Amino acid sequence: MGFVATLLTLIGLIHVYLWKRLVRDTTRAGSARLWGTLLLLAMFAVTLSALLTRSAPVDTARWFAWPGFMWLAVMLYLLVILLALEIPRLAALLTLRYRHRRAFPARAGSLAEAEPASVMGEGPPASVRAAGGLPVPAAHPAVSGEGGTAVADPPGIDRGEPGGLGGPVTGGRAGAVGGGPGGRATGGRVDAAGDRTGGRATGGRVDAADAGPASGADAGASGGGADGVGGGGGSVEAAYLDRRRFLARGFAAAAGVAAAGTVGYGTYTALGPLDVRRVPIALPRLDGAFHGFRVAVVSDIHLGSLRGRAHTERIVRTINGLRPDMIAVVGDLVDGSVPELGAAAAPLRDLEAEHGAYFVTGNHEYYSGVGAWVEEIRELGLRPLLNERAEITRGNAAFDLAGVDDLTAEAEGGGPDYTRALAGRDTGRAVVLLAHQPVLATESARHGVDLQLSGHTHGGQLWPFHYVVRAAQGTVAGRARIGDTELYVTRGAGFWGPPVRVGAPPEVSLIQLHARP
């Protein structure tokens, strides 16, 4: 439960980050931001459903697995790409701010750093609140007396007189119009909330404290922008925020296109043709009679809610087409019970090799009823190697093929037992070991194993997350050497989670053993 809680928390935090970059930064507060927020919440819920229904019946889990795991892949690549774009994004924002400060030095202090992070509400940036809770810009320079053109008072209006429509107006380009309570000023937006003895407006957008009951005061601004023709402070802020949003939308669009393209390519790879890797490996103790002996290796088939019988049939056709001398299935065959997936695994019965087909458990067998699956695999004609070995003979020559249980079995009192698996063997001949997880190669080297064949890693499955796999397993794919032990890690034929493979095509390996002279 601790792992699940940590995973769900991590996915939740990733969605918060995506909301900030893809929704908050790219939209004004309002319906667009609301719908974007709801969409991300829905995708978060779908992903959780896919993860939490993994142990549900396969037919039920399938409905959640496709949308949930596909979004999980898109989410991961959006995260990677957006993080990679953080430095260019910061550089672009700093450049934008610098240009605005040079163009509008008097307004530099009032440029908003960002819009409010609310979903629906939005107040004017860099403003304060006047009496009555209405917004007032932080600064608005006067036009009158500084080269601005004042609007003449209409006939009969005595500006500033006690009986006039409003008190003195200073700072913006202002002129009172009308003859009733309240007033309308051109220039900054002035709302006179009082009667004929009204309030005083100073500067940009002002809502004066009332001196009497307000009766339909009408406020307006001429000249475009939040603060009208006179000051232009609000229009500068608005332009600055518009450009910030434009940049954010550009980065979001780039990330979206890149993530979608990557996942599309990865889906085609995961569901596409199997990559056949032919790998020659020389073993010092291998008898010359086995020179050129071919072992077909496949792992991580992962039959389940996303892959079924057709997947198994394709793998069997590929392996049989290689005409191997022996076949090794190194774990993680299934993600479900025998009643659910027995029919999907049935084509394994058609595997053909002179020296037979062998199987060792992977971690996913222990999540799917390992005992029942071991018996089912026997029925299909494969021999499970459960901490045991078999002698592979050709004429009078032989080498040992051993297999150990997966590390996951340690939670049930089992696990890999090298002493039992290698007991009684002739130490003068070569031994090939099947072990699901590559990390066991260190133990194999201590026990004098010549060659270990493993899977488990999927080759990393999703680049660049293979670095996490490397940290856990040491080897992600291909050949490695640990002490005197050769290790080969196949990338697997299936996938777990997202039906996506990036930089790690599905693989069937053909190991060609060579005897050293």
Q: Helix or strand or coil: residue 37?
A: helix
In a domain, 107, yes or no: no
CA-CA-CA-CA dihedral for 375, 380, 381, 386, to nearest 10: -30
pLDDT of residue 250 exceeding 80: yes
Q: Helix or strand or coil: residue 397?
A: strand
In a domain, 206, yes or no: no
> Residue range 351-380: average pLDDT?
96
Instruction: Give the per-residue pLDDT at 516.
Output: 79
In a domain, 113, yes or no: no
pLDDT of residue 210 exceeding 70: no
pLDDT level of residue 80 (50, 70, 90 thresholds):
very high
DSSP 177-219: B-SSSS-B-SSS-EE--SSTT---EESSSEEPPPSS-------
- Tokens matching residue 150: 């004042």
- For residues 149 and 503, which has the higher predicted lDDT (pLDDT)? 503
Q: Is the dihedral of CA 186, 188, 193, 195 positive or negative?
A: negative
DSSP state of 150: P
DSSP state of 163: T
pLDDT level of residue 235 (50, 70, 90 thresholds):
confident
In a domain, 462, yes or no: yes
- For residues 442 and 129, which has the higher predicted lDDT (pLDDT)? 442
pLDDT of residue 73 exceeding 70: yes
Of 42, 76, 97, the domain-final residue = 97
pLDDT of residue 461 exceeding 60: yes
Q: Is the dihedral of CA 10, 495, 439, 387 positive or negative?
A: positive
Instruction: Indicate the helix (H) or strand (E) that contains 482.
Output: strand 478-482
Angle between the 58-84 and 338-345 helix axes, to the nearest 10 degrees?
Answer: 80
> Residue range 393-409: average pLDDT?
96
- In what order do the strands lie in the sheet containing 293-298? 275-283, 507-515, 293-298, 326-329, 357-359, 383-384
Q: Give how many domains the chain has, as a whole number.
A: 2
The percentage of residues in the chain with a pLDDT greater than 70, rounded to a whole number, is 75
In a domain, 146, yes or no: no
Burial of 163 (0-12, 13-18, 19+ CB in 10 A): exposed
pLDDT level of residue 276 (50, 70, 90 thresholds):
very high
Instruction: Give the per-residue pLDDT at 273.
Output: 95
pLDDT level of residue 399 (50, 70, 90 thresholds):
very high
Mean pLDDT score across all residues of the chain = 82
pLDDT level of residue 440 (50, 70, 90 thresholds):
very high
Cβ proximity of 296 and 328 under 8 Å: yes
CA 452 and chain centroid, separation = 33
In a domain, 166, yes or no: no
pLDDT level of residue 268 (50, 70, 90 thresholds):
very high
pLDDT of residue 416 exceeding 90: yes
DSSP state of 284: T
Q: Helix or strand or coil: residue 469?
A: helix
The percentage of residues in the chain with a pLDDT greater than 90, rounded to a whole number, is 67
Question: Which candidate, 21, 58, 40, 9, places its Cα nearest to that of 336?
Answer: 58
Of 36, 62, 97, the domain-final residue = 97
Amino acid sitting at position 32: A
- For residues 517 and 164, which has the higher predicted lDDT (pLDDT)? 517
Instruction: Give the per-residue pLDDT at 234.
Output: 61
Of 81, 97, 113, the domain-final residue = 97
Instruction: Give the per-residue pLDDT at 110.
Output: 55
- For residues 188 and 395, which has the higher predicted lDDT (pLDDT)? 395
In a domain, 164, yes or no: no
pLDDT of residue 447 exceeding 80: yes
C-alpha 213/C-alpha 164 separation (Å) is 16
pLDDT of residue 242 exceeding 70: yes
pLDDT of residue 438 exceeding 70: yes
Structural domain including 382 reads 275-515
Cβ neighbours of 479 (radius 10 Å): 11
- For 98-157, the pLDDT digits (tens) are 888 887 776 555 554 445 455 555 444 444 444 444 444 444 444 444 444 444 444 444
pLDDT of residue 437 exceeding 70: yes
pLDDT of residue 71 exceeding 50: yes
- For residues 167 and 295, which has the higher predicted lDDT (pLDDT)? 295
> Residue range 337-343: average pLDDT?
96
Q: Helix or strand or coil: residue 66?
A: helix
C-alpha 241/C-alpha 229 separation (Å) is 19
- Tokens matching residue 257: 């296109």
CA 432 and chain centroid, separation = 39
> Residue range 466-487: average pLDDT?
95
Low-confidence winner among 129-133, 262-266, 279-283 (lowest mean pLDDT): 129-133
Residue 359 makes CB contacts below 8 A (sequence gap 6+) with: 328, 329, 330, 331, 333, 377, 382, 383, 384, 385, 403
> Where residue 323 sits, what CATH number does that domain have?
3.60.21.10
Amino acid sitting at position 329: V
Place of tokens 């530099």: 108
In a domain, 494, yes or no: yes
